[in-house]
Structure 1
Amino acid sequence: MRGFIRLFACGALMSMAFASASAAADGKTHHIAVQVDQNDPQVMNLALNNVNAVIEYYRTKNEDVDIDVVAYGPGLHMLRADTSPVQDRIKRLKDMVFPGKIVFSACNNTKQGMEKAEGHAISILPDASVVPSGVVHLMELQERGWSYVRP
């Protein structure tokens, strides 16, 4: 009886190991949304450091990850063509990742508010896209199962 239990336990452990390897081989894609809502270069760089670390981690595991960096409120400066202190880093990240795996989303509500306050049109970085509302975009990503990070 003890031999049977030992054999059963060993078989169960091997099944779990194969299931884990199988899950990685199944092509599961991880999803992470990163919020930037501060006009602070340190916060922006921390967010990009987090993004880079996630990319590198899953690259070593041969697993895919989709990333959406969502900027709104004062954080929109991260994606403004005229004020972004990190636009070179954003371009490098976009260039190092397979197209579509990292997205930078700029809040249109914030953009319109800044345009009204400043009295002129605001250009967003070419590596970013505009979403109607940054907060709503984050909420909808989370509702679809995306993980959420705020540096």
Structure 2
Amino acid sequence: MKNLLRRLSVLAFMSLSFVTAGLAADVKQHRLAIQVDQNDPAVINLTLSNITNVIEYYRAKGENVDVDLVAYGPGLNMLRADKSTVQDRIKHLKDFAFPGKIQFSACNNTKINMEKAEGGAITLVPEATIVDAGVVQLMELQEQGWSYIRP
């Protein structure tokens, strides 16, 4: 009888392990690519609010979400240290998000063109990550299965 109970306990534990592993494999990977291509305070603030809402939603469910905000064209101004009106919100989002789960991608093509037009180097906020081309970044993220939003 004691051996039977021990075997049943082992079987139950093993079954539970398989179920738990199966559930872990079914957890959906949430990934959001969001673009900003306008230097419009309303669009920029809407985008940052959308990101905050997405992070809060999945955090409340105990799930993770990766976010990549891609800024190019006039939208790059939101990531410029000298022109951004939302630097504090960007820093807060970077601190608020799951560690390493948010990226602020800055289009290098746009940066180079702005530097040529302005005759000098421009500085981006410390939270920005330079990517070769913003549009290519968005395209490649979508090819990898990221959800794409344009506010």
| TM-align CA RMSD | 1.6
Kindly provide the CA deviation profile for residues 39-72 of structure 1, in whole angstroms up to 9, marking residues without a partner as x. 0111000000000010011011111100000000
Give the structure-2-normalised TM-score. 0.82
Where does structure 1 lack aligned partners over 5 or more consecutive residues?
1-18
- Opposite residue 108 of structure 1, the aligned amino acid is N
Q: Aligned pairs, how many? A: 131
1:40 lines up with 2:40 in the alignment: yes
Match of 1:83 in 2: 83
Matches within 5 A, 1:1-151: 23=23, 26-151=26-151
Distance 2:84 2:105 in 1: 14
Distance 2:125 2:73 in 1: 16
Percent of aligned pairs sharing the same letter: 69
Kindly provide the CA deviation profile for residues 92-128 of structure 1, in whole angstroms up to 9, marking residues without a partner as x. 0111122210100000000000000000101011001
Distance 1:95 1:149 in 2: 22
Instruction: Provide the secondary structure at the position in 1 that maps to 2:99.
Output: coil
Give the structure-1-normalised TM-score. 0.82
Cα distance, 1:33 vs structure 2: 0.4
Instruction: Provide the secondary structure at the position in 1 that maps to 2:95.
Output: helix
Distance 1:143 1:116 in 2: 32
Q: Is the 8 A contact 1:27 1:64 kept in 2?
A: no
Over 3 Å counting, the alpha-carbon distance change for 1:32 and 1:23 in structure 2 is farther
Distance 1:30 1:53 in 2: 14
Distance 1:34 1:65 in 2: 13
> Which protein has the larger Cα radius of gyration, Structure 1 or Structure 2?
2
Cα distance, 1:23 vs structure 2: 5.0
Where does structure 2 lack aligned partners over 5 or more consecutive residues?
1-18
Kindly provide the CA deviation profile for residues 73-109 of structure 1, in whole angstroms up to 9, marking residues without a partner as x. 0000010010001110000011112221010000000
